[in-house]
Amino acid sequence: MFNVNIIWSNSIVIDGIRIRNPESYHGAGPNTDGINLLSVNRVHVMNVDVATGDDCLVLDAWGYRKDRDPTHDVLIENSYMSIGHSGVGIGSITAGGIRNVTIRNCVFDSVCRGVDIRSNNERGGVVEDILYQNLTMRNCTWEGISINLIKDYNDKGRQPIGDQTPFVRNIRYENIRGDAEREAIYFYGLPEAPIKNVVLENVDMRSKKPEPILLRNTKNIVINGNRY
């Protein structure tokens, strides 16, 4: 399963480690997250080289105890991620809330999604104040930049807002380059909880699809100066 798994911890430095696992598509490496950070704070990840069968690095936050257990104040930088399902994934365990995260100066090579945020209306929590900066994404086999809050694409109806409703807001992408087989930018929010206040500045993501940008249930999205 997970290679490096850090839970309910703070003031952690991960520097210079190398992780290798088989691709899950060949049947050998399912659920092998490289670095899994769950309900942590004040974490610095740098100079890592991860190729694995699931997410190269993922941030989660428990919310099932009496008190929420957020993940916050995390810096990920100067690293190389390849092969996995995402270079850096946030969620889908978001119930505790995830905030104040910076991912910068990294290369993502032949991952499914370069960077993604994911949750659904059974997970809850708030994901906010996330900065992605100076990233290169080569040969993403799915989307390049993704935020997805939909669990069941056949059920698009508005649901009551409650403890299990996830909210994603105040996300910023700066100086991103790369290419993707599917959408370059894929944002799919919930009708009752749209993805809000996302800025993409100096982003050049190429896609093989004729419509490289998909926005559903979003508000105040700015892409290279154009507001949607």
Q: How far apart are CA 83 and CA 68, in angstroms?
A: 33
Q: What is the pLDDT of residue 156?
A: 63
Query: Which domains does the chain show, CATH number per domain?
Result: 4-151+164-227 (2.160.20.10)
- C-alpha dist (Å) from residue 13 to 16, 18, 45, 48, 157: 10, 14, 6, 11, 43
101 pLDDT above the threshold of 90:
yes
Q: How far apart are CA 78 and CA 204, in angstroms?
A: 20
The whole-model pTM stands at 0.94
Give the pLDDT score at 39: 96
Q: What is the DSSP letter of 62?
A: -
150-193, pLDDT tens digit by residue?
987 766 678 889 989 999 999 999 999 999 999 999 999 999 99
The pLDDT tens digits for 133-143 are 999 999 999 99
* Beta carbons within 8 Å of 65's beta carbon, 6+ residues apart: none
pLDDT tens-digit readout, 104-124:
999 999 999 999 999 999 899
What's the mean pLDDT when you consider all of the chain? 93
* The predicted structure's pLDDT at residue 159: 86
pLDDT-derived band at 47 (thresholds 50, 70, 90) equals very high
